[in-house]
Amino acid sequence: MKRAVFPGSFDPITLGHVDIIKRAIPLFDEIVIAIGINADKKYMFSPEQRQEFIRQTFSNEPKIKTASYKGLTVDYCKKIDATFILRGLRNPADFEFEKAIAQTNRKLSGIETVFLLTSAETSFISSSIVRDILRNNGDVSVLVPNTVIK
């Protein structure tokens, strides 16, 4: 089975994430959208809320699972027998940052990282921008799935 882990905070999931996930579905037998828990970070939404956003967004897609984890992503991948990490790239800065992590992960564990470029329509979206708009009572309906708006 080709299982991939798409790690992130997904605080909240955005249409950029959704774009990457939908385009990755044909590539893998299963994609686990894995919410990394970092005790030092302040989140807007609880892990349970974030998982529910994901579940509702992909309720009709049996290849998509969601979970939360603590610690290193490669350790979580080993735990669930995932051989790929999925990452989305918005810009060259993302690539440089993600490349170093991917090379380290491959050296430590042999797990390959698969990169997909975000579509032009969603490449500007980030969870931090969405959170800032939400904090200021702005409209994020064109940036996130309907499940987040509800």
pLDDT tens-digit readout, 71-83 = 999 999 999 999 9
Residue in the block written with tokens 């797990």: 111
127 assigned to active site: yes
Which pLDDT score is estimated for 99? 95
Whether the upstream peptide bond of residue 12 has omega within 30° of 0, thus cis, is yes
The candidate with the shortest Cα–Cα distance to 61, out of 139, 6, 8, is 6
For 54, phi then psi, to 5°, come to: -70, -50
55 assigned to active site: no
41 assigned to active site: yes
68 assigned to active site: no
Give burial (CB, 10 Å; 0-12/13-18/19+) of 32: buried
Residue 56 has pLDDT above 90, yes or no: yes
**Active-site residue, selected from the candidate residues 9, 50, 87, 127:** 127
Mean pLDDT, residues 80-103: 94
Which pLDDT score is estimated for 117? 95
Residue 39 has pLDDT above 80, yes or no: no
- What residue segments make up the domains of the chain, in order of their start? 3-149
The candidate with the shortest Cα–Cα distance to 58, out of 94, 95, 33, 86, is 33
| CATH placement of domain 3-149 | 3.40.50.620
**Active-site residue, selected from the candidate residues 3, 22, 78, 90:** 90
**Active-site residue, selected from the candidate residues 9, 17, 50, 87:** 17
